[in-house]
Amino acid sequence: MNFTQLEFLCFLILVVSIAWTLRGRVARNAFLLLASYYFYAYWDIRFCGLLLLSTAVDFVVAKKIAASEVHAIRKRWLMCSLTVNLGMLGLFKYFNFFLETAEPLVHAIGLDASTLPIVLPVGISFFTFQTLSYTNDVYRRKMKPTNSVLDFALYVSFFPQLVAGPIVRAAHLLPQLAVTPSWNSKRMYNGAQQLLRGAVKKVLIADHLADLVDGVFAGPELYHPVTVWLAVLAYAGQIYYDFSGYSDMAIGIAKMLGYRFPVNFRHPYLSTSVSEFWRRWHITLSTWLRDYLFIPLGGSRGTTWSTNRNLLITMTLGGLWHGAALTFVSWGVWHGIALIVARCSRLRLPRFAGWLATMSVVLFGWVLFRATSFENAMVVYRCMIGRTTPLAVPGTESWSVAGTILWLPPLPLLALACMVVDHLVWRTHGRRWMRLPADRWFSPVATAMMIWALVLYAPRGFRPFVYFQF
């Protein structure tokens, strides 16, 4: 069940309607827990056991950590949580990757290196990180463990953010689940509107951009360098509008149910440095990596060398978190090196030059992120710098720049234009109008137009959200 499918719309209307008719907190949370498990079981009921395991282990571990004053015992229980959660993540997501990587060594010692038919559970990277943040915060005495199994189980499995985030910390959501939210019609309307804006981002922009991206990345050597650059730019737009669209929809759904989720994106493509980009992109993940990986490694408290080492380790593991492939690891290393270079150079560029340099780093990084293999990424890079001769451009007599651009489908070009306008408007006072406050006349008009556009111009077929694979 996907946020952009009709089945989910029916599910959401039913859940929201029933949730607001239930007055007691326990009844409400129990219903939302059942609805969340139904939502996850819709993908594959077998994986509900992983949710139950992670919930049970971390609920008990947090209680044991809080009950002990002995540091060694507290650390032992924390290691139990880390072992279970990272063990699940390692088995389902990384076992075959590491086995394939170590294949020459495995064969050398006379063992079989055949991979296992393991299916990646949807959202496992997100809910394991959520439960790990809970036990870590209890261990650091930043919060007390909850006494309610029901509240904690709902925190782990809450369906709006279960499969693709945002990564919501226990300290943020558990206090909200401990009380019954009060009805607020304005909050309901704003939540529904944010859900709609997220659907527009995903369906009308990201999915149309994907048409261009998929075609070019499938055979980059067939296209003019201008087309390849446009495809890379289109992928930057696709992944942003796809993922921020999902985040907007998740935040909007939570708001409709009376809860608040943290912001996950703040127009990252307006950044003038790589570090600023990571303060604006996938904020809940970047802050998680900072608080639970970079700082425990030593952060920036040591020497320049140790700080750079910590940055590189953090970004490399951040890349690996996204996927079990050399391309994702390379993407993480690329951003780690960029952060180190920016930190060591201490060069202050003019605003436009800083933005141009940052976007160059980001765009070249997206090639690694999108490529089907490392070899495919290298081909794309060569095509971007014009080191290969395009074999042909479909629909044109030559491979001229004008012919290349004219050949591109009109809807992806329109989506690219919408992306650029969106970011330009956000730099001006027009951003106030884009938020569509409920007390303005144009808000219901804009809402009707978005619904109309979704009905008329949604692409045929179903495209899953990009981050569902993580």
- Could you give the residue numbers annotated as active site? 322
Specify whether the CB–CB gap between 319 and 333 falls below 8 A: yes
Q: Which of 188, 198, 167 is nearest to 255 (CA)?
A: 188
Q: Calculate the dihedral angle through the C-alpha atoms of 196, 359, 279, 315, rounding to the nearest 10 degrees.
A: 110
- What secondary structure letter does DSSP report for 436? -
Alpha helices in 158-221 (DSSP H): 170-177, 185-200, 207-218
**CA 165 remoteness from chain centre:** 6
Specify whether the CB–CB gap between 367 and 380 falls below 8 A: yes
Calculate helix-pair angle for 351-370, 326-345, nearest 10 degrees.
160
Alpha helices in 220-325 (DSSP H): 225-256, 274-280, 283-289, 295-297, 304-322
SS3 assignment, position 86 = helix
Paired tokens of 435: 């938020």
Paired tokens of 125: 């990277």
**CA 42 remoteness from chain centre:** 21
- What secondary structure letter does DSSP report for 462? -
Burial of 171 (0-12, 13-18, 19+ CB in 10 A): middle
Q: How many helices (H) and strands (E) does the chain have?
A: 23, 0
Q: Which of 170, 187, 198, 157 is nearest to 31 (CA)?
A: 157
Paired tokens of 121: 């559970």
**CA 467 remoteness from chain centre:** 5
**CA 428 remoteness from chain centre:** 27
Question: Residue type for 159, please?
Answer: F
